Amino acid sequence: MSVASEKMVSLQPAEAAARPLNLAFVLDPLPGLKAYKDSSIAMMRAAATRGHAVFAIDCATLGWRRPESAGPGGVFGTAVHLHMQSDNHDWFREIGRDRIPLTDFDAVVMRRDPPSTTST
């Protein structure tokens, strides 16, 4: 799996709509998400239904790498390529995993829940 091998091109709106996109969703850990109520999963399912590639990135895997001669720098994350399923208990299958620069995605959507505190 290499999203990095695709060239960045400037597309007109009609052309962009016809081309499948590589979409990254920065989320809380996948096992903790509830498909029956989580709007992030609804967005990922809708994107997959329209032919787009859906990736999930846990915030804990995000990091910055200094540019070097061996590779590009910037923000990277461990992207899990997902096959979305309609079952709310078994809602995805992992079909690949790689550490990818976020610039390789057509869009990165931050969907992480804010931390909550309980006051007594």
Asked whether residue 1 is domain-assigned, the answer is no
Asked whether residue 6 is domain-assigned, the answer is no
- CATH number at 33 reads 3.40.50.20
Asked whether residue 41 is domain-assigned, the answer is yes
Owning domain of residue 84: 22-110
Cα–Cα distance, 89 to 75 (Å, whole number)? 32
Asked whether residue 87 is domain-assigned, the answer is yes
One-letter amino acid at 11 equals L
Our count of domains for the chain comes to: 1
| The pLDDT value given to residue 116 | 56
64-116 tens-digit pLDDT: 988 876 777 899 999 999 999 999 999 999 999 999 999 999 999 998 766 55
Residue that the structure tokens 């910055």 belong to: 64
Asked whether residue 43 is domain-assigned, the answer is yes
One-letter amino acid at 71 equals G
Q: Tell me, what DSSP letter sits at residue 68?
A: B
Per-residue confidence at 6, pLDDT binned at 50, 70, 90? very low
pLDDT at 24 over 90: yes
pTM, two decimal places: 0.78
Beta strands 107-110; 74-84: pairing state = unpaired
Asked whether residue 12 is domain-assigned, the answer is no
34-68 tens-digit pLDDT: 999 999 999 999 999 999 999 999 999 999 988 87
